[in-house]
Amino acid sequence: MRDQSSSAKDNQNPLQNLDQWEEDILTRYPDPKNINADKKEEQFRNYDETEKDSVKEFYRLNHTYQTYDFVKQKKAEYLKFDKQEMPIWSAFDFLNKLVDDSDPDTDLDQMQHLLQTSEAIRNDGHPDWMVLVGLIHDMGKVLCLFGEPQWAVVGDTFPVGCAYSDKIVYPEFFSQNPDYNHEIYQTKLGLYTQNCGLDHVDMSWGHDEYVYHMMKPYLPEPGLYMLRYHSFYSQHRENAYDHLMNEKDHEMFKWVNLFNPYDLYSKNPNQKSWAELEPYYKALVAKYLPATIKF
């Protein structure tokens, strides 16, 4: 018989795996500029309603508990980067335990997915720092290693401390959020000012925000925008938060929009072996990052 703590943990983690969230994105936002040219859009991610129900429950939890205070708490807890220090290759070893057993497109582990993303970017001739972004963009999922529930690791991201856009997936679940009836947080601008710039805006907590702050010392600004906002779909697909963005944000989001299709649509069964790719990626990581990273 399972103990109550195990059941409580499962209740916080309704997805079969973290990538089930991305599978739902592909259903919501099929991209006509699909990189994987040998496969039609409609062939991606075909799921039963029961699995979609788990995604819906995931967003109920996410929208209920991602409060402004929660975000501030997690930033204070994790942005000290005092949990562990390790090479990024050790972080990838952990991510490889998050194998996506239910993905109908591939049976590849997380590291292979990251390599497919980075290789697609590399093959299109983009700068090597962008190739590195492809390699590390999901590295923040190591938050699971520290006991964070799924709804605090993945999910579409959105600003907190201001009104929720109805362009966010399952906006009806925000009615359960303690911030929903806050007299300031639910005004259009909330704690912010018109076109203040996203750098002054607190985003919901997850792997995007975590890896962005982790990589701030090492990557150019366009790469940091890719990391921080690659799950901010209500903006780069729906333009829901133009009132918070400034001119710099709009310019930088060209890079975010460039990156996202590589993340979502670059799966390729003809991936080179790690033995072939290892020399390039070992050198790339050494070029930009120190031998160990603080997590």
Instruction: Give 77-89 pLDDT, tens digit per residue.
Output: 999 999 999 999 9
Q: At what angle do helices 128-136 and 247-265 cross, to 10 degrees?
A: 60
1 domain-assigned: no
Domain count across the chain = 1
pLDDT of 39 > 50? The answer is: no
d(C-alpha 221, C-alpha 131), whole Å: 14
Q: How far apart are CA 160 and CA 67, in angstroms?
A: 7
Write down the pLDDT at residue 32: 53
Structure-token pair, residue 193: 């000012």
What digits encode the pLDDT tens for the residues 121-148? 999 999 999 999 999 999 999 999 899 9
Select from 207, 230, 226, 209 the least CA-distant residue to 133: 226
Is 244 among the domain residues?
yes
Residue 148 lies in a domain: yes
Q: Determine contact, residues 271/112, Cβ cutoff 8 Å.
A: yes
* Structure confidence at residue 108 (pLDDT): 52
Tokens at 121, concatenated? 């970017």
Asked if residue 294 is part of any domain, the answer here is no
Confidence class for position 162, pLDDT limits 50, 70, 90: very high
Q: Does residue 215 belong to any structural domain of this protein?
A: yes
* pTM as predicted: 0.86
Handedness of CA 238, 140, 219, 77 (dihedral sign): positive
Give which of 16, 34, 28 is closest to 263, Cα–Cα: 34
Establish if 295 belongs to a structural domain: no
Q: 73-79: long-range contacts at Cβ-Cβ below 8 A with a sequence spacing of 24 or more? A: 74/152, 74/205, 75/202, 75/205, 75/209, 78/143, 78/146, 78/210, 79/210, 79/213
Look at residue 35 and tell me if it is in a domain.
yes
| Residue type present at position 177 | N
* Residue 33: inside a domain: yes
Separation CA 277–CA 251 (nearest Å) = 33
- Mean pLDDT of all residues in 230-253: 96
pLDDT band at 276 (very low <50, low <70, confident <90, very high): very high
What's the domain range around 71? Answer: 10-289
Digit-coded pLDDT (tens) for 188-236: 999 999 999 999 999 999 999 999 999 999 999 999 999 999 999 999 8
